[in-house]
């Protein structure tokens, strides 16, 4: 049985004694340990108090036995979802497929245009996701570095070449996206400015750009949490790339650990990160699905005589 998440489910989850794993990842929690499940479920509990949000979390039970949970959240727009949590007991692939099918069905009923899902690249659940109608379209590598692993130093000690992103940079960022992202990915994430805006992932935190000659050549999205820093990078393959990446990494100065989730098509950036002591901690597949929209037809009844 699959139903909406209830407050009592949190108590059931607490009693599972480490049998659960959250296999879905969003950009800000990639690489998180299983110990993060309970705080995540506590946040879901708070959200469940809102009847609207409760519809976005599903639990599968086998009698009184908890089998799994799936939760979605909106991306940049309410018409696009991403799977925020896919919590399974003993990595139950059948349960995963059932939950993904259920959330897709609900998404279609609500008019959701696309659903995204990020899974570890070597996970057996990829087949279950494909059986539920999801298709992989993007591979990402998680690069990680600690202070002890740091390799080369910064290129120079000159001033930063970056500035804070402004609202009027939107079209410039879309132009950068069109020039750097392969067409196969653009067909999923958006070929037009409108679709790109709708399907964008939530930002990590502060955003920075490198502008040259009136055009944006690089974009960075970063956040700091305690002593950990995370960075997103999108940059053109130009002569200044080494200096641009160098400036981007300076945004994380002072962090004891640093991470960067990098699409596999950015090979040049990958080489630069490795020269700074980064190594691949894990790989991920990003999948998507367009739910079937079920249009509600008017219910007609015979007119009374």
Where residue 91 sits, what CATH number does that domain have?
A: 3.40.630.30
Element holding 225 (H helix, E strand) = strand 215-225
**Angle CA(65)–CA(284)–CA(255) in degrees, nearest 5?**
105
Closest residue by Cα to residue 7 from 66, 40, 65, 47: 47
Read off the pLDDT of residues 215-226 as tens digits, 9 standing for 90 and up: 899 999 998 888
On whether the CB atoms of residues 252 and 235 are closer than 8 A, the answer is no
pLDDT at res. 233: 93
My answer on whether 113 and 170 are in the same domain is no
Measure the CA–CA gap between 89 and 264, rounded to whole angstroms: 31
My answer on whether 256 and 220 are in the same domain is yes
Higher model confidence: residue 123 or residue 99?
Answer: 99
| Last residue in a domain, options 110, 138, 166 | 138
| Last residue in a domain, options 75, 110, 138 | 138
Strands annotated E in the chain? 2-4, 20-22, 57-62, 65-74, 80-89, 114-120, 135-146, 163-164, 206-212, 215-225, 228-235, 257-263, 279-289
On whether the CB atoms of residues 262 and 143 are closer than 8 A, the answer is yes
My answer on whether 114 and 192 are in the same domain is no
Residue 195 C-alpha from the chain's centroid: 17
Domain membership of residue 104 (yes or no) is yes
Domain membership of residue 296 (yes or no) is no
| Residues ≥6 apart with Cβ < 8 Å to 268 | 237, 241
| Residues ≥6 apart with Cβ < 8 Å to 228 | 255, 256, 257, 258, 259
My answer on whether 265 and 162 are in the same domain is yes
Measure the CA–CA gap between 66 and 305, rounded to whole angstroms: 54
My answer on whether 6 and 132 are in the same domain is yes
Domain membership of residue 168 (yes or no) is yes
Closest residue by Cα to residue 132 from 106, 108, 98: 98
Measure the CA–CA gap between 239 and 254, rounded to whole angstroms: 27
Bridge partners (DSSP) of residue 74 are 81
What is the count of structural domains for the chain? 2
Helix, strand, or coil here: 77? Answer: coil
Read off the pLDDT of residues 229-279 as tens digits, 9 standing for 90 and up: 999 999 987 778 888 899 889 889 889 999 999 999 999 999 999 999 999
On whether the CB atoms of residues 229 and 259 are closer than 8 A, the answer is yes
Domain membership of residue 125 (yes or no) is yes
Q: How far is CA 281 from CA 233, 264, 274, in A?
A: 17, 14, 12
My answer on whether 12 and 106 are in the same domain is yes
My answer on whether 53 and 166 are in the same domain is no
Domain membership of residue 18 (yes or no) is yes
Domain membership of residue 101 (yes or no) is yes
Measure the CA–CA gap between 117 and 129, rounded to whole angstroms: 9
Residue 295, pLDDT above cutoff 70: no
My answer on whether 209 and 120 are in the same domain is no
My answer on whether 14 and 131 are in the same domain is yes
My answer on whether 173 and 263 are in the same domain is yes
On whether the CB atoms of residues 264 and 139 are closer than 8 A, the answer is yes
Element holding 45 (H helix, E strand) = helix 37-48
Q: What is the mean pLDDT of the chain?
A: 85
- Domain containing 178 equals 151-276
Domain membership of residue 16 (yes or no) is yes
| Last residue in a domain, options 95, 111, 138 | 138
Provide the pLDDT confidence category of residue 155 given band limits of 50, 70 and 90.
very low
My answer on whether 130 and 13 are in the same domain is yes
Domain membership of residue 301 (yes or no) is no
My answer on whether 35 and 130 are in the same domain is yes
| Residues ≥6 apart with Cβ < 8 Å to 284 | 25, 30, 118, 119, 120, 121, 139, 140, 141, 142, 261
pLDDT at res. 29: 82
pTM of the model: 0.87
pLDDT > 90 in the chain, percent: 51
Helix, strand, or coil here: 248? Answer: helix
């Amino acid at each position: 049985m699959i139903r909406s998440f209830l407050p009592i489910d949190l108590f059931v989850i607490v009693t599972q004694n480490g049998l659960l794993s959250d296999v879905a990842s969003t950009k800000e929690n990639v690489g998180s340990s299983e110990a993060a499940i309970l705080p995540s479920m506590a946040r879901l509990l708070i959200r469940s108090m809102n009847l609207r949000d409760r519809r976005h979390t599903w639990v599968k039970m086998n009698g009184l036995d908890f089998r799994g949970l799936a939760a979605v959240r909106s991306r940049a727009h309410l018409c696009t979802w991403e799977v925020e949590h896919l919590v399974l007991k003993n990595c139950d692939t059948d349960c995963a497929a059932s939950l993904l099918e259920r959330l897709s069905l609900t998404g279609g009923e609500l008019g959701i245009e696309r659903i995204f899902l990020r899974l570890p690249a070597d996970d057996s659940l990829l087949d279950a996701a494909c059986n539920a109608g999801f298709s992989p379209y993007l591979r990402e590598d998680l690069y990680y570095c600690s202070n002890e692993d740091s390799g080369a130093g910064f290129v120079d000690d000159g001033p930063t070449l970056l500035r804070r992103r402004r609202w009027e940079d939107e079209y410039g960022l879309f132009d950068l996206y069109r020039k750097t992202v392969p067409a196969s990915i653009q067909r999923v994430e958006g070929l037009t400015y409108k679709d790109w805006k709708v399907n964008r992932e939530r930002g990590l935190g502060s955003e920075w750009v490198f502008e040259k000659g009136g055009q944006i050549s690089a974009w960075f999205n970063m956040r700091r949490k305690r002593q950990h820093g995370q960075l997103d990078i999108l940059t053109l393959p130009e002569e200044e790339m080494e200096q641009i990446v160098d400036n981007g990494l300076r945004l994380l100065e002072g962090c004891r650990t640093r991470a960067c989730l990098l699409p596999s098509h950015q090979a040049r950036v990958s080489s630069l990160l490795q020269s700074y002591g980064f190594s691949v901690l894990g790989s991920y597949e990003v999948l998507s699905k367009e739910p079937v929209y079920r249009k509600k037809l008017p219910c007609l009844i015979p007119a009374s005589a």
